[in-house]
A and B are shown apart, each in its own frame.
Chain A
Amino acid sequence: MIRDRKKEALVAFILILPFLSIYSLIFVYPTIDMFLLSFTDAPLIGKGEWVGLENYTRLPNDRRFDTAFWNTAYFVLLSVIPGTFVALAIALGISRLQGRLQAIVLALFFLPYILPVSVVYRLWDWTLNFQFGIAMHLFDLMGIDRVPIFKVTGWFMPAVAMVTVWWTSGFSILLFLAGLRSIPNEIYEAASLDNTNRWTLFRRITWPLLWPVTALVLTIQLILQLKIFDQVYLFSVGGRPNDNLVMVYYIYQRAFVSNDGGRAAAIAIVLFIIVIIVSVLNFQLMRFAEKRS
C-alpha cells in the first residue's frame, strides 16, 4: 500500500492536538511557571522579586522542612512495603477461592479503595477516637490503657500508615490478582509433577513469576505515598500538625497559610525531584534484581 506520509503525519497531529493543548495548558505551563516562581519571593497570588537560589539554600536550616522530609520518608517506609506484602498475601488468598465467592471477597477488599478520604477519616476516627472509638472499648475490655492515637506523635505515623494500607491496598490486590492469573496453570501442573511442596512453589515459581507485578505495585505505591497529604491533614485536626508535617502538607502551609508562593514552589520542586529519583531508582533496582534471579 502506498501511503502519503505527509498527510498521515498531519492527520496524526490533528488527532493529538486536543490532548496536546490541554496537557500544555494545565501541566507543562504551570510546571515551568512554578519552576520560575521558586526563584522569586512571590506571594500566593501575584508577581515577586527575583531572589535567585535563596528559597532553596534556606531549606537545609528549615526545621519544619526537616520534620516534613523525615516524616514523609518514615511514612513511605511504613506504608509502601507492608502495604505491598499485605496486598500480595490477600491476593494469594483470594486466588484460591472460586467463582462468586472469589468475586464477593475481592469486592469486600476493594471497597475501601473507592471511598473518599473524608469517609476513611470518619470511619477510623470513630474506630480509634480516644473518647468514643470502638477500639478503645476493646482496649478497656482487655485491660489496656487507652491511647489518644492521633494525638501522640509516636503513634500518629504508624496509625496513618495502617489506615492508608487499609484504604489503598484494594488496587494493589487487583494488580497482584491479574499477575497471578497470567501465570499459566500448566506451570503449576508441571510443578506438581515435579514434587513441589507449597512453600517451594511460592518461593521458586509464584514469587519470581510475580516479580514484574511486584515492581509495578511498589513503584505505584512509592509515588502515591510520597505525595501523602489528605490523611495527615484530616487526622491532625485538633492534634499537633507541626509535629506531623509531611512534604505536601508543608507546601500547603507555606503557600496557603504563610502566603509564601515562592518558598512553597521551591519545596514542591524538591519533592518533584525526589519522586523522580526514587521511582526511577526503584524501577531500575527491580529490573536489576529480576535479571539476576
Chain B
Amino acid sequence: MADISLQNISKSFGAVEVISGLSLDVHSGEFVVFLGPSGSGKSTVLRMIAGLESIDSGTLLIDGKVSQDLAPGQRNVAMVFQNYALYPHMTVRENMAFGLKNIRLAPDEIKRRVEEAAHVLEISALLDRKPAQLSGGQRQRVAIGRAIVKEPAALLFDEPLSNLDAALRVRTRVELAELHQRMKSTMIYVTHDQTEAMTLGDRIVILNNCKIEQIGTPLEVYNTPATKFVASFIGSPAMNFLSGTTSQGKTGANFVTSDGLTLETNIALSNFGAFELGIRPEAIRISDTADGLPAHVRVVERLGDRTLVYAVLPDGTQIVAQDSGRSGVQTGDKVHLTFDPSQVVLFDAEGKAHHS
C-alpha cells in the first residue's frame, strides 16, 4: 500500500499534447477515481502510472520511488483491463500465477496467494477452467484476482465494469467497494460513469480536455462544483443552466434572466456581467403561488419515489425540476418555479463557479 505522486506530468502524441502539467497526490489506501468523458485523457494518465505509456516530462513517485523510467513490471502496480486481457490459453490458476512465477516466487507461496485470492473473489471452483469457459463477470473476477495476488503497491482499474450488463455492474461495484475496505489498498479507477465514481471513490478527479477540472470527495464535487463542466457532468438529471446577467444586490449578486426577471442570491461577486445560473433539479420547488419563474410543463415523468417535471421558461430555456412522488403537476400546466438560494451557483464567462 503506497502513496502515488504525479508531479507536473506531461505527455504528447506527436504534436498533440494530451496531458500537460498534471499534478496529483494519491494517498496510501485511498480509492481515487478518474472521471471524464472519452478523450479526456483519463485512461492515458492511468496507463502512464502503469508504465504502458511513456511520460514525456515530470516526476512519478510510487511509494516514494522515482518510477517514470521503470518498466511496467518493476513499478509494483497491477492493472485490471477493460477487456480483462486474460491469457486465453492458460487456466484461471495459471493466469493468476503467471506474474508470480516470473518473479520466481516459491511455489508454495504462489499456491497460497492464488488460493487465498480465489477464495476472496469466490472463484475457487473455477481455478482449472480456461477464460473461454467463463462468463463476463467471472472473467472480471479472474482479472481482479490476477492483480491482487501480486500484492501490489497500487491497483489500477481501466473501466473494468463497462463490459458487464447493468445488473452485474451494480453488484460488482458493491463488491469492489467491499474489496477495497477489506484490502485497504491504494486503488486508482478510471471510468466515464459518474455513478461508479460517486459510489466508489474516496476522491474523484474530474478530467476534461486533458486537464484536471476538480479534485474532491464525491459530495464536494456534487455540491460545490468548481466549474460549469463539473456541474454539468455530475448529477442525473443534470444541473439546469439559465443565462443572464448579474448586478450588485442587497445580500449578494442579483441575477437577471434574459426575460428580465430578477433572482436574488447571496453569492458575493467582484465582477458583474454575463453569467450563467446553475441549479440542481432537486433544489427547484414548484410553487402554486405566483412568485418565482413562470414555466410551462412539457413532460412529466413519474418515477414513483419522485417526479421529474420538464418545463420551458418563456425565453425557451429547458428546465428539469424534481417534485415529490405524489406530485399533482400535469403536462400542459402553467407553474411557477422557485430556487433554493443556498443551492444556486453562478458561473462566469470562463465557466468558473461562484458559490454562496
Contact = CB atoms under 8 A, between A and B. Distances in A.
State the majority secondary structure of interface residues on A: helix
B50 A194 contact: no
Given A193-B78, A194-B99, A196-B102, A184 B85 contact: yes
A197 B77 CA distance: 17
A287 interface: no
B321 interface: no
Contacts of B77: 193
Interface stretch (A85-93, A108-116, A204-212, A221-229): A204-212
A190 interface: yes
B73 A184 contact: no
Nearest to B156: A193
A186 B89 contact: no
Contacts, number: 59
Interface residues of B, number: 22
A8 interface: no
A189 interface: yes
A192 B72 contact: yes
Nearest to B97: A194
Interface in B26-66: 50-52
Given A192-B72, A194-B73, A196-B73, A186 B102 contact: no
Interface in B50-106: 50-52, 71-74, 77-79, 81, 83, 85-89, 98-99, 102-103
A209 B87 CA distance: 9
A118 interface: no
B89 A192 contact: no
A293 B99 contact: no
Nearest to B78: A193
A195 interface: yes
Contacts of B146: 190, 194
B152 to A, nearest CB: 9
B73 A195 contact: yes
A278 interface: no
Interface string B324-346: 00000000000000000000000
A186 B85 contact: yes
B136 to A, nearest CB: 16
Contact of A205 (B51, B71, B87, B99): B87
Nearest to A187: B85
Contact of A195 (B50, B81, B85, B103): B103
A120 to B, nearest CB: 38
A194 B73 CA distance: 6
Contacts of A184: 83, 85
A195 B99 contact: yes
User: Which of A186, A191, A194 has the most CB atoms of chain B within a 10 A radius of its CB?
Assistant: A194
Contacts of A204: 98
Nearest to B52: A189
Interface string A255-293: 000000000000000000000000000000000000001
A187 B73 contact: no
Interface string A170-185: 0000000000000010
A40 to B, nearest CB: 53
Nearest to B77: A193
Contacts of B79: 189-190, 193
A15 B214 CA distance: 64
A79 B75 CA distance: 45
Contact of A193 (B72, B83, B87): B72
A190 B71 CA distance: 12
Nearest to A190: B85
B88 A209 contact: yes
B83 A186 contact: yes
Contacts of A205: 87
B85 A192 contact: no
Contacts of B85: 184, 186-187, 189-190
Contacts of B98: 191, 194, 196, 204
B102 A193 contact: no
B89 A194 contact: no
A208 B118 CA distance: 25
B102 A195 contact: yes
A200 interface: yes
B51 A192 contact: yes
Contact of B50 (A193, A196, A197, A293): A193
Contacts of A192: 51-52, 71-73
Return the 9 tightest CB-CB contacts between A and B, nearest first: A194-B99, A195-B73, A186-B85, A190-B85, A195-B102, A192-B72, A208-B89, A193-B72, A189-B52
Given A190-B85, A192-B52, A193-B52, 20 more contacts: A186-B85, A187-B88, A189-B50, A189-B52, A189-B72, A189-B81, A189-B85, A190-B86, A191-B87, A192-B51, A192-B71, A192-B73, A193-B50, A194-B146, A195-B74, A195-B103, A197-B102, A205-B87, A208-B89, A209-B89
Interface of A: 184, 186-187, 189-197, 200, 204-205, 208-209, 211, 293
19 contacts: A184-B85, A186-B81, A186-B83, A187-B88, A189-B50, A189-B81, A190-B146, A192-B72, A192-B73, A193-B72, A193-B99, A194-B73, A194-B102, A196-B99, A197-B102, A204-B98, A205-B87, A208-B89, A293-B89
